[in-house]
């Protein structure tokens, strides 16, 4: 395949999962679009499209004829030796902007010091672009290895052709190709022009490196944005500045689902610095465009100041009748009623309880909580009426969702929307929603200028898509040998009313629906799992490790209760429940197979590394253990705590054993993710809760919504990675769920007190 030679550089287009390409684009246009203004080689989609053409030009022609492919480069090697890698996934603090380019660079055999990483915009050429479910690594790892290897293979072929030697006599390392016999060397920079003229090889023929020879993957690499972050460079959505930009705030009804009746718009428009104020009608969808009043001003300060004088008459709707106390009372009543949804029924539960040596009953509850990301929601939007286009700058976990909701609500075609992904100051699932994007876009359509919408902290806390609260009513039974024989969980959860296929139905919130496959359900001979939804107008959304973040606390706290009732060691009790037979038929979290061997291995690893059962703790100190399978990761944790007589808790040490597959991409980043999960887990266990009164959240800011402070952080966090022969997976979420039960079980070991209600601040831990 030949292209016009201008600036010598090698470019590889990065669609790694696209299934369609350009029907109405000529081959010439296609090549022009992919050339980046110089000599370029288009690669990326061929293995997914099964292009078998021996000639790369034929492969490109076949690709172009097939569909709507908009190419964009992932790899560019310039004549100065600089390798530019595009990071296609959103960076929300999980380190993916560093780790995924490391995968390409490893197979490309390039010096990391020569690598420059650029955040990509939303582009269908890149395939899926989202940060959620700890999926960025597992969905891209293998493809990125192939892409790096394909580029390396072509550079080696170029060198072999240049020297007129067999390709098999050449190898690549540290941004150059070496002829093994003669020791001749050629830098990548000197080869890109020739490499760009070569046919694209079939990816099936490309040989990947032996992982034992990795030099970059598995090493410690600092975050590529670290210096810019600590020196205050503008990286985040809230930092965006566009010439001529105006600033907006958006006031929504305090009660969920309320609508605007009237507002003192003329008085607001007369205030200093205010350019405009208007009502947006919005939609009826809790996750769509909520009705409200927009104020447009010459600065953020002017818009926030004007908002203080805004007077709105609201139609608060029916949600105004909802409160947490009513939910709690209703859950208690529902737990005693028949008619629950049956999620799993194995064996004869009633007979097992009748014949049990010991039975335990307990109820566990947890509140709604906010994502509380440090950077409040924001989005900059610029609508250009002359061509009907919209340009967006947003800190988003799911840019395609932002694009889709704008198209759906505002009827702007996708091809008219450009969305730039900025770095996010935290996400934890909140930025998978796109409400702040559609608000900014709707405002921009009424403003003849670019406009930045900034939520206040109060907006962020009172208009979140919350982690759902929940109530679990549990019974368990053990036989005379201390074996778990029966398990019954009646889960009373929260659900929003939505329209589906023309019918009004209750849809449980994200992470608020119990699976019949969740541990220990399938492992117990006599098991009954039930679920009863309570309707609410409180908006809910994914929150770090959805479902798992609370289910692990409930299940492993209650398992610990049963272990102690049976007089058993909590570790031995769990190992006995797990058994030794792998359950590999799509069980467990999100239908992922549950590999018992992997879980047993991390349990034994964490027990060994923590010295489980080898020390006798004095009263007021104790160890607790828990594990959980979440987001394809197998994690076990041991917590060691001290509880003073007046009930003050200190987490002394947390030991974590984790199996997330065959490779740790960035050891520094992986440790950071585990340590962050532990700290976030302690924070979430101890402090945050939201009270719902009159259909609205009572708390408004961090003075009312507690988070962990540095003195409360654990003294020591030990992280141990257990490698296995399984695909590589992510680590942003799986280490979070086991923390809460491990700490609560340690509290029981130290004080004899069970924690059955979150947050922990509601429990009296004093002992004598």
CATH for 606? 3.30.365.10
Domain co-membership, 436 together with 302:
yes
Of the candidates 104, 195, 202, the one whose C-alpha atom is nearest the C-alpha of residue 147 is 104
The answer to the question of residue 258 being in a domain is yes
Instruction: Count the domains in the chain.
Output: 3
d(CA 339, CA 350): 17
Of the candidates 449, 244, 473, the one whose C-alpha atom is nearest the C-alpha of residue 336 is 473
Domain co-membership, 117 together with 265:
no
The answer to the question of residue 412 being in a domain is yes
Domain co-membership, 244 together with 312:
yes
Angle at CA 348, nearest 5°, toward 343 and 351?
A: 135
Domain co-membership, 216 together with 250:
no
Strands (E) across 30-167 are located at 73-78, 83-87, 115-119
Domain co-membership, 601 together with 563:
yes
Domain co-membership, 426 together with 490:
no
Domain co-membership, 596 together with 686:
yes
Say if residues 1 and 51 touch (Cβ distance below 8 Å).
Answer: no
Pick the last residue of a domain from 167, 193, 226: 226
d(CA 11, CA 15): 13
Spatial neighbors of 197 by CB under 8 A, at least 6 apart, are 1, 2, 3
d(CA 553, CA 624): 12
Say if residues 342 and 516 touch (Cβ distance below 8 Å).
Answer: no
Question: How far is residue 362 from each of residues 405, 488, 558, measured CA to CA in Å?
Answer: 43, 11, 8
Pick the last residue of a domain from 454, 487, 510: 454
The answer to the question of residue 126 being in a domain is yes
The answer to the question of residue 2 being in a domain is no
The answer to the question of residue 43 being in a domain is yes
Tell me: the pLDDT tens digits for 12-60? Answer: 443 332 222 223 333 333 333 333 334 434 444 333 322 222 333 332 2
Q: What is the mean pLDDT of each run of 10 residues along the chain (768 residues)?
A: 35 34 31 36 36 30 24 72 93 97 96 96 91 96 93 94 97 97 95 86 89 97 97 97 98 96 98 98 84 98 98 96 98 95 96 98 98 97 98 98 96 98 97 98 97 98 98 98 98 94 93 92 95 97 97 98 98 96 66 89 98 96 97 97 98 98 98 98 98 98 96 96 96 97 98 98 96
d(CA 464, CA 64): 43
The answer to the question of residue 498 being in a domain is yes
The answer to the question of residue 461 being in a domain is no
Tell me: the pLDDT tens digits for 469-521? Answer: 999 999 999 999 999 999 999 999 999 999 889 899 999 999 999 998 889 99
What is the per-residue pLDDT for 588?
A: 61
Angle at which helices 570-578 and 548-565 cross, to 10°: 110
Give the domain extent around 50: 9-226
d(CA 663, CA 666): 9
The answer to the question of residue 4 being in a domain is no
What is the per-residue pLDDT for 585?
A: 58
Domain co-membership, 108 together with 158:
yes
d(CA 122, CA 399): 6
Domain co-membership, 412 together with 499:
no
Domain co-membership, 596 together with 702:
yes
Whole-prediction pTM:
0.91
Domain co-membership, 337 together with 389:
no
Domain co-membership, 269 together with 303:
yes
Pick the last residue of a domain from 395, 428, 454: 454
d(CA 174, CA 172): 7
Angle at CA 512, nearest 5°, toward 660 and 499?
A: 125
For 693, phi then psi, to 5°, come to: -135, 130
């Amino acid at each position: 395949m030949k292209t016009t030679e201008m600036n010598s550089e090698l470019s590889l287009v990065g669609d790694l999962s696209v299934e369609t390409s350009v029907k109405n684009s000529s081959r010439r246009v296609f090549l022009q679009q992919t050339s980046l203004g110089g000599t370029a080689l288009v690669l990326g989609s061929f293995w997914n499209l099964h292009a078998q053409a021996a000639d790369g030009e034929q492969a490109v022609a076949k690709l172009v004829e097939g569909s709507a492919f908009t190419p964009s480069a992932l790899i560019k090697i310039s004549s100065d030796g600089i390798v530019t890698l595009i990071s296609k996934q959103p960076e929300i603090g999980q380190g993916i902007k560093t780790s995924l380019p490391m995968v390409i660079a490893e197979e490309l055999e390039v010096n990391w010091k020569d690598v420059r990483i650029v955040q990509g915009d939303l582009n269908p050429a890149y395939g899926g672009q989202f940060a959620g479910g700890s999926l960025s690594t597992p969905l891209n790892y293998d493809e990125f290895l192939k892409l790096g290897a394909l580029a390396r293979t072509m550079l080696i072929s170029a060198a072999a052709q240049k020297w007129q030697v067999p390709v098999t006599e050449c190898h690549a390392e540290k941004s150059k190709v070496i002829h093994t016999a003669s020791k001749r060397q050629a830098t990548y920079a000197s080869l890109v022009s020739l490499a760009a003229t070569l046919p694209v090889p079939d990816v099936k023929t490309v040989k990947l490196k032996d992982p034992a020879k990795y030099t970059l993957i598995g090493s410690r690499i600092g975050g590529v944005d670290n210096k810019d972050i600590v020196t205050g460079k503008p990286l985040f959505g809230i930092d965006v500045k566009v010439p001529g930009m105006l600033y907006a705030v958006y006031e929504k009804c305090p009660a969920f689902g309320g609508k605007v009746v009237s507002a003192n718009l003329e008085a607001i428009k007369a205030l200093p610095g205010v350019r405009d104020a208007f009502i947006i009608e919005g939609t009826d969808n809790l996750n769509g465009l909520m009705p409200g009043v927009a104020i447009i001003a010459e600065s953020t300060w002017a818009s926030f100041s004007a908002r203080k004088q805004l007077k709105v008459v609201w139609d608060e709707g029916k949600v105004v009748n909802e409160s947490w106390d009513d939910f709690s009372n209703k859950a208690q009543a529902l737990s005693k009623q028949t008619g629950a949804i049956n999620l799993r029924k194995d064996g004869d539960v009633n007979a097992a309880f009748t014949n049990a040596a010991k039975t335990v009953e307990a109820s566990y509850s947890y509140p709604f909580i906010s994502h509380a990301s440090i950077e409040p929601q924001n989005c900059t939007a610029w609508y250009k009426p002359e061509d009907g286009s919209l340009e967006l700058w947003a800190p988003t976990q799911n840019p395609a969702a932002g694009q889709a909701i704008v198209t759906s609500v505002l009827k702007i075609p996708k091809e008219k929307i450009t969305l730039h992904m900025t770095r996010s100051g935290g996400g934890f699932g909140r930025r998978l929603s796109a409400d702040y994007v559609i608000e900014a876009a709707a405002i921009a359509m009424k403003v003849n200028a670019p406009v930045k919408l900034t939520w206040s902290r109060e907006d962020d806390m009172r208009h979140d898509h919350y982690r759902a609260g929940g109530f679990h009513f549990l019974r368990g039974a053990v036989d005379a040998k201390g074996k778990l024989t029966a398990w019954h969980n009646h889960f009373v959860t929260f659900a929003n009313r939505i329209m589906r296929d023309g019918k009004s139905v209750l849809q449980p919130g994200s992470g608020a629906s119990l699976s019949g496959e969740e541990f220990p359900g399938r492992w117990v001979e006599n098991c009954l799992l039930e679920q009863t939804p309570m309707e609410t107008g409180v908006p809910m959304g994914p929150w770090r490790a959805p479902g798992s973040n609370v289910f692990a606390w409930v299940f492993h706290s209650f398992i610990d209760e049963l272990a102690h009732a049976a007089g058993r060691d909590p570790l031995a009790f769990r190992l006995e429940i797990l058994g030794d037979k792998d359950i590999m038929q799509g069980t467990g979290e999100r239908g992922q197979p549950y590999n018992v061997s992997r879980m047993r291995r991390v349990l034994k690893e964490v027990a060994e590394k923590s010295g489980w059962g080898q020390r006798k703790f004095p009263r007021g100190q104790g160890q607790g253990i828990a594990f959980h399978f979440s987001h394809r990761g197998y994690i076990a944790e041991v917590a060691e705590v001290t509880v003073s007589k007046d009930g003050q808790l200190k987490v002394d040490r947390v030991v974590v054993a984790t199996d997330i597959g065959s490779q740790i991409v960035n050891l520094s980043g992986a440790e950071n993710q585990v340590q962050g999960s532990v700290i976030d887990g302690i924070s979430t266990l101890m402090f945050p809760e939201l009270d719902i009164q009159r259909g609205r959240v009572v708390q408004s800011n961090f003075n009312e919504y507690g988070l962990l402070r540095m003195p409360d952080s654990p003294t020591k966090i030990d992280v141990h990675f257990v490698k296995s022969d399984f695909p590589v997976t992510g680590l942003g979420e799986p280490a979070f769920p086991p923390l809460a039960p491990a700490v609560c079980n340690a509290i029981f070991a130290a004080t004899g007190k069970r924690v059955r209600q979150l947050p922990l601040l509601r429990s009296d831990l004093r002992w004598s």
